């Protein structure tokens, strides 16, 4: 589907019988995320990049009720980085506003070559940032020696996944009154933690991305699992960082 | 659909193939709320106003099994405020009684122009009222500096939503043996907190409304999210009110 | 459907296109209870009485996968109370054993005229019995001043439901190695608490009944809600019994 | 279906309209396990043995989206125990890698004659191993006097199930960086605890098996229930092992 043709008939961009087409996949993913408690009360969202085309959920919709016709489409080629507040959309739904998350999703696409970015308001993510705040405004979440850590890639441009004994580090940025204003801090966190696939936002939630939908979603699931485990470990008085690498396995 | 015609054939009022028709929407919403744990064991409910027509779930039904034929309909025009216990229904299901929540739903419709009102028995709502009771019978729930607060409108007749640093305040009223008797206290709370879209009822649950179904539902989801977070924050020793507005975001 | 005819062709007893027929309803209820965590790993179950016919789930099935053809049927008329271990079934599925819960379900039917009895292994029920055990082997669960208490009838043969300020009392019996051996203790608890619609079994779960499926199910939902709330209240240091009846509601 | 024929057309091995066929059952079970939180972010999995044929989910798939065509099949006859890293598959999906869990599943099949083995990353399992670690690296989980314990068989080759007063013992092995390396420790735990149907893996999850799919699944459900209960009991200060056998049941 050529972009030029699409501009003449923008609805072509979001019309497909393929359930894997981004305009179909974003609504079905968001409905799934709603049942997981990741997106609630219009908070949170998801964006998919297909080559230069970016598909975005609108602002303020009920996430479990989204339809393909609600989806925005823009081309990365058309965006002027110097004026990122004024975006050109190839296709806009008639009754909505673009999501305030848009520049954050674009940062994952342009700076990390991501194919999908998910934003959740998961309780576990928020509680982790609150626990870190209570520990002196710590700006990084760290956990190691948990099997689920293997669910993460080693980093942008690197081959393979983290190991069981590796420490997963997710940077935390402070929240801002306007979500778009988070962009520069998110980009700075990407610079400071070049291998991360996620950034936590204090008292707000998390942004998670991946090379494609599969990787973004499974990394987001693994991260939510780890955030939940971290809160539960805290409640049980168990530390997030341990030194079990030297414990030799035993015949029990 | 004219009301005069409806009185001759009341079932017309609840017969539609449109899933967005209130008589179809109330059952599907209640089924969804049942899976969320908001309405259980016949507790809780939902009402929708369409102009002067008010659609109401009956008392005592299993909320996930409700059918359009179970729905009561009344006209706001026909109600005599001086005798609100004696209501005239345009359409009544044959085997049920009207919900005791009816006058509370009507208060949201007549005093705040709401288009939908939801009543939940959510654990999180009840626990928040119990925690406030333990803190000296506090009559208001307050939380700030959580992103999900943005899910609420600024107030009746005001444009826009609350900001991240704004404090969300939800009044708490004491429960009464008969649910209808709550009405005057709910109305008084509306007067005392003119901008609120919700009233907590001690040891009982919460009433949440909005200009339309979309807003009532997303505000109710946001509120349940915040109640849950508040209970979890309490368990972790974290305060509901903080002063993070002055913390400048940082490049991590 | 006459019982005499049924004996000649027992499968008639469990063959119906009506989703409300007990042989269809038990599987659909059990599947719902499985999603609620009430019946897991073949534990728990449900029985329905229609006049003298009793429909029972078999022992050891996966509760979310039950089929009408798995259902046992017996007639209350055929049972010899003096030899209750030797039961006559009008219809038995070919490959299963009768549930060990059978005599407990029958106690609710014969002694309380119940139309449905539900047995859950809900965590909340088990935790409540453990908390009571830690408080000196207490043999009754008591809670008051919670709205959901209104979800219970006043008692066998009484009209109306409990009020908000009433104290709900659920007796607790000790578990026995063989579930059938619980019967005499369950019957004794029914005698000691003639108005109860439920009996807790220490470290095991709960039996809940009602005049019909609707009442048994909504009372079971209300009770599970209250058990969960009670555990959460305990974790937050809040007492189950309070004296708020005298607190006058206020204009907030 | 003869194995010889299958090798000529391997897709025959995973093509069936029977929902109980392993190639259909593994995807539907994994989807169910995903909703239970047992398999998330590609972690966890399930394998079924039908006589000598073993059906395996591939590595790295989204567990709720698995298809029959994703399934690996191998024959137990073809495996050389001395070279278990080099396995011969009768059928391999085109785009995946075999699961690292494969040798662990095979251990259950060859050493215990299991018909199905499930591997979960359940939070409750991981938290139990962490609590045991905090108690001096304990290498066995023990619980007694809980009804759900009856959900387990007495052991390999034994008739009947555990009783209410029996102590369920699940060995714990330390995790290894490479999942395949767990195999020898899992096998050693099987030797040390010949009656167990499950092995916990520290900071990782649990392997649970059974004579057939029914038994593996219901034992896994019962175990997850007990792990959850154990964590909750720990939070409430209640011990996992008690001595209630001598408490005589009472007429309450």
- What's A67's domain CATH number? 3.40.225.10
pLDDT given at position D175: 97
C-alpha–C-alpha distance, residues A30 and C8, integer Å = 54
Query: Which of C30, C35, C40 is the mutation pick for testing D, counting most D CBs within 10 A?
Result: C40
pLDDT given at position D1: 42
Instruction: Examine residue D74 and state whether it is found in any structural domain, yes or no.
Output: yes
Bridge partners (DSSP) of residue C153 are C161
> CB distance C214–B171 less than 8 Å?
no
**C20 catalytically annotated:** no
Regarding whether C41 and C130 lie in a shared domain, the answer is no
Task: Say if A233 is an interface residue toward chain B (CB within 8 Å).
Answer: no
C-alpha–C-alpha distance, residues B147 and A15, integer Å = 33
C-alpha–C-alpha distance, residues A198 and A204, integer Å = 14
Regarding whether A71 and A48 lie in a shared domain, the answer is yes
pLDDT given at position D82: 60
Residues 6+ apart with CB under 8 A from A173: A139, A182, A185, A186, A188, A189, A199, A200, A201, A202, B249, B250, B252
pLDDT tops 80 at residue D84: no
Instruction: Examine residue A104 and state whether it is found in any structural domain, yes or no.
Output: no
pLDDT tens sequence across B217-236 = 999 999 999 999 999 999 99
- In Å, how far from its chain's centre is CA D204? 13
From chain C, pick out residues whose CB is under 8 angstroms from the CB of B204: 146-147, 164
From chain D, pick out residues whose CB is under 8 angstroms from the CB of A214: 62
> CB distance A41–B221 less than 8 Å?
yes
Point out the catalytic residue in the list B64, B147, B184, B187: B147
pLDDT tops 50 at residue C252: no
Binding residues of D: 101, 119, 121, 204
Regarding whether C230 and C127 lie in a shared domain, the answer is yes
In contact, C222 and C122? CB cutoff 8 Å: no
Q: Angle at which helices B213-235 and A123-134 pack, to 10 degrees? A: 40
C-alpha–C-alpha distance, residues D43 and D57, integer Å = 11
Beta-carbon neighbour count of residue C55 at 10 Å? 25
3-state secondary structure of A188: helix
Can you spell out the DSSP letters for chain C?
Answer: --HHHHHHSGGGGG--S-TTSHHHHHHHHHHHHHHTTSS-TT--EEEEEETTEEEEPBTT--GGG--GGG-EEEEGGG--GGGTTS--EEE--TT--B-TTHHHHHHHHHHH--SEEEEE--HHHHHHHHHHHHTTS--EEEEES-GGGGGSBSSTT--SB--TTSEEEEEEE---SSGGGGHHHHHHHHHHSTT-SEEEETTTEEEEEESSHHHHHHHHHHHHHHHHHHHHHHHTT--SS---TT------
The overall average pLDDT reported for chain D is 92
Final residue belonging to a domain, choices D43, D70, D99: D99
Instruction: Examine residue A250 and state whether it is found in any structural domain, yes or no.
Output: no
Point out the catalytic residue in the list C3, C8, C20, C147: C147
Beta-carbon neighbour count of residue B45 at 10 Å? 29
Residue range D84-101: average pLDDT? 85
From chain B, pick out residues whose CB is under 8 angstroms from the CB of C214: 62
> CB distance B40–C221 less than 8 Å?
yes
Beta-carbon neighbour count of residue B21 at 10 Å? 18
* Residue in this structure with the two tokens 């167990």, named with its chain if needed: D196
Look at strands C167-173 and C198-201 and give their pairing.
parallel
- Portion of chain A with pLDDT greater than 90, in percent: 83
C-alpha–C-alpha distance, residues C173 and C204, integer Å = 10
Regarding whether A233 and A125 lie in a shared domain, the answer is yes
- In Å, how far from its chain's centre is CA A192? 18
Can you spell out the DSSP letters for chain B?
Answer: --HHHHHHSGGGGG--S-TTSHHHHHHHHHHHHHHTTSS-TT--EEEEEETTEEEEPBTT--GGG--GGG-EEEEGGG--GGGTTS--EEE--TT--B-TTHHHHHHHHHHH--SEEEEE--HHHHHHHHHHHHTTS--EEEEES-GGGGGSBSSTT--SB--TTSEEEEEEE---SSGGGGHHHHHHHHHHSTT-SEEEETTTEEEEEESSHHHHHHHHHHHHHHHHHHHHHHHTT--SS---TTS-----
Task: Say if A169 is an interface residue toward chain B (CB within 8 Å).
Answer: no
Task: Say if C248 is an interface residue toward chain B (CB within 8 Å).
Answer: yes
pLDDT tens sequence across D163-188 = 999 999 999 999 999 988 999 999 99
Q: CA distances (Å), D136 to each of A246, C29, D133, in order?
A: 15, 44, 6
Q: Which chains touch B (3 or more CB pairs under 8 A)?
A: A, C
pLDDT tops 60 at residue C251: no
Q: Residue C229 sits in which domain range?
A: 122-242
3-state secondary structure of D214: helix
Final residue belonging to a domain, choices C65, C99, C133: C99
Query: Using 50, 70 and 90 to split pLDDT, how confident is the model at C88?
Result: confident
Question: How close does chain D come to A184, measured CA to CA in Å?
Answer: 29
> CB distance D188–A252 less than 8 Å?
yes
Element (H, E) at D34: helix D22-35
Instruction: Examine residue C195 and state whether it is found in any structural domain, yes or no.
Output: yes
Regarding whether C139 and C211 lie in a shared domain, the answer is yes
pLDDT tens sequence across A229-245 = 999 999 999 999 998 75
The overall longest dimension of chain A from CA atoms, in Å, is 69
Residues 6+ apart with CB under 8 A from C51: none
Element (H, E) at A199: strand A198-201
Bridge partners (DSSP) of residue A144 are A167
pLDDT tops 90 at residue B244: no
> CB distance D126–A229 less than 8 Å?
yes
Task: Say if B221 is an interface residue toward chain A (CB within 8 Å).
Answer: yes
Burial of B238 (0-12, 13-18, 19+ CB in 10 A): middle
From chain A, pick out residues whose CB is under 8 angstroms from the CB of D140: 252
Regarding whether B221 and B181 lie in a shared domain, the answer is yes
> CB distance C147–B205 less than 8 Å?
yes
pLDDT tens sequence across D16-43 = 999 999 999 999 999 999 999 999 998 9
pLDDT tens sequence across B11-41 = 999 999 999 999 999 999 999 999 999 999 9
pLDDT tops 90 at residue B243: no
Task: Say if C244 is an interface residue toward chain B (CB within 8 Å).
Answer: yes
Give me the number of domains chain A comprises.
2
Q: Tokens standing for A137?
A: 């405004």
> Which residues of chain D form beta strands (DSSP E)?
45-50, 53-56, 72-75, 89-91, 116-120, 140-144, 167-173, 198-201, 205-210
pLDDT tops 60 at residue C1: no
Point out the catalytic residue in the list D8, D64, D133, D147: D147
Regarding whether D238 and D123 lie in a shared domain, the answer is yes
Q: Which chains touch A (3 or more CB pairs under 8 A)?
A: B, D
Regarding whether C145 and C91 lie in a shared domain, the answer is no
Query: Using 50, 70 and 90 to split pLDDT, how confident is the model at B252?
Result: very low
Task: Say if A211 is an interface residue toward chain D (CB within 8 Å).
Answer: no
> CB distance D62–A151 less than 8 Å?
no
Look at strands C116-120 and D205-210 and give their pairing.
unpaired
Instruction: Examine residue C209 and state whether it is found in any structural domain, yes or no.
Output: yes
Instruction: Examine residue B108 and state whether it is found in any structural domain, yes or no.
Output: no
User: B21: annotated binding-site residue?
Assistant: no
Regarding whether D158 and D55 lie in a shared domain, the answer is no
Query: Using 50, 70 and 90 to split pLDDT, how confident is the model at C85?
Result: low
> CB distance D40–A235 less than 8 Å?
no
pLDDT given at position B78: 73
Q: Tokens standing for A188?
A: 């700075």
Query: Which chain B residue has the Cα nearest residue A61?
Result: B214
Indicate the residue of C62, C123, C192 with minimum beta-carbon distance to D252: C192
Instruction: Examine residue C39 and state whether it is found in any structural domain, yes or no.
Output: yes
Query: Which chain B residue has the Cα nearest residue A192?
Result: B252
In contact, D119 and D101? CB cutoff 8 Å: yes
Indicate the residue of B131, B204, B205 with minimum beta-carbon distance to C236: B131
Residues 6+ apart with CB under 8 A from A118: A29, A33, A38, A44, A45, A46, A207, A208, A209, A216, A217, A220
In contact, D41 and D67? CB cutoff 8 Å: no
pLDDT given at position C148: 97
**In chain A, which ranges are continuous DSSP H helix?**
3-8, 22-35, 102-112, 123-134, 183-192, 213-235
Which of A110-119, B169-178, D243-252 shows the lowest mean pLDDT across its residues? D243-252
Residue range C103-129: average pLDDT? 97
* Residue in this structure with the two tokens 């936002």, named with its chain if needed: A201
Q: What count of residues does chain C have?
A: 252
User: A101: annotated binding-site residue?
Assistant: yes
Question: How close does chain D come to C159, measured CA to CA in Å?
Answer: 26
Beta-carbon neighbour count of residue C4 at 10 Å? 7
Can you spell out the DSSP letters for D60-115?
Answer: T--GGG--GGG-EEEEGGG--GGGTTS--EEE--TT--B-TTHHHHHHHHHHH--S
pLDDT tops 50 at residue D137: yes
From chain C, pick out residues whose CB is under 8 angstroms from the CB of D247: 137, 174
Indicate the residue of D219, D237, D247 with minimum beta-carbon distance to C41: D219
In contact, B114 and B198? CB cutoff 8 Å: no
From chain D, pick out residues whose CB is under 8 angstroms from the CB of A232: 123, 127, 231
Query: Which chain C residue has the Cα nearest residue B43?
Result: C148
Bridge partners (DSSP) of residue B142 are B169
Indicate the residue of A147, A228, A252 with minimum beta-carbon distance to D205: A147
pLDDT tops 90 at residue C236: yes
Instruction: Examine residue A106 and state whether it is found in any structural domain, yes or no.
Output: no
pLDDT tops 60 at residue A153: yes
Residue range B98-127: average pLDDT? 96
| DSSP secondary structure code for residue A140 in this structure | E
Regarding whether A229 and A135 lie in a shared domain, the answer is yes
Q: Does chain D touch chain C (at least 3 C-beta pairs within 8 Å)? A: yes
Task: Say if D137 is an interface residue toward chain A (CB within 8 Å).
Answer: yes
pLDDT given at position D121: 98
C-alpha–C-alpha distance, residues A27 and C113, integer Å = 50
Task: Say if D222 is an interface residue toward chain C (CB within 8 Å).
Answer: yes
Indicate the residue of A164, A236, A252 with minimum beta-carbon distance to D189: A252
Look at strands B167-173 and B198-201 and give their pairing.
parallel
Regarding whether A85 and A132 lie in a shared domain, the answer is no
pLDDT tens sequence across A54-112 = 999 999 899 999 999 999 999 998 776 665 556 889 999 988 889 999 999 999 999 99
Task: Say if C228 is an interface residue toward chain B (CB within 8 Å).
Answer: yes
**In D138-212, which ranges are continuous DSSP H helix?**
183-192
* Residue in this structure with the two tokens 């393909």, named with its chain if needed: A68
Query: Using 50, 70 and 90 to split pLDDT, how confident is the model at C114?
Result: very high
Burial of C169 (0-12, 13-18, 19+ CB in 10 A): middle
From chain D, pick out residues whose CB is under 8 angstroms from the CB of C134: 236-238
Final residue belonging to a domain, choices B67, B99, B131: B99
Regarding whether D125 and D40 lie in a shared domain, the answer is no
In contact, B33 and B66? CB cutoff 8 Å: no
User: B204: annotated binding-site residue?
Assistant: yes
From chain A, pick out residues whose CB is under 8 angstroms from the CB of D234: 236
Q: Does chain B touch chain D (at least 3 C-beta pairs within 8 Å)? A: no
The overall average pLDDT reported for chain C is 92
């Amino acid at each position: 589907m050529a972009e030029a043709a699409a501009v003449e008939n923008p609805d072509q961009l979001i019309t497909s019988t393929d359930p894997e087409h981004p305009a179909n996949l974003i609504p079905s993913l968001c409905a799934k995320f709603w049942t997981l408690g990741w997106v609630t009360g219009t908070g949170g969202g998801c964006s998919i990049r297909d080559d230069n085309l970016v598909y975005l959920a609108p602002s303020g919709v009920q996430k479990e009720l989204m339809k393909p016709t609600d989806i925005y489409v823009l081309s990365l080629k058309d965006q002027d980085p110097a004026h990122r507040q004024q975006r050109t959309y190839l296709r806009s739904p008639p009754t909505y506003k673009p999501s305030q998350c848009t520049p954050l999703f674009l940062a994952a696409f342009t700076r990390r070559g991501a194919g999908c970015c998910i934003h959740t308001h998961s309780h576990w993510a928020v509680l982790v940032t609150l626990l870190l705040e209570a520990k002196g405004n710590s700006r990084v979440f760290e956990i190691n020696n948990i099997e689920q850590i293997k669910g993460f890639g080693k980093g942008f441009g690197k081959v393979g996944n983290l190991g069981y004994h590796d420490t997963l580090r997710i940077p935390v940025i402070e929240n801002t009154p306007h979500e778009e204003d988070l962009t520069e801090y998110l980009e700075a966190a990407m610079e400071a933690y070049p291998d991360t696939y996620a950034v936590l936002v204090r008292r707000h939630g998390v942004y998670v991305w991946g090379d494609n939908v599969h990787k973004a979603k499974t990394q987001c699931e693994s991260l939510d699992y780890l955030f939940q485990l971290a809160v539960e470990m805290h409640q049980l008085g168990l530390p997030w960082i341990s030194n079990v690498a030297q414990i030799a396995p035993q015949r029990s």
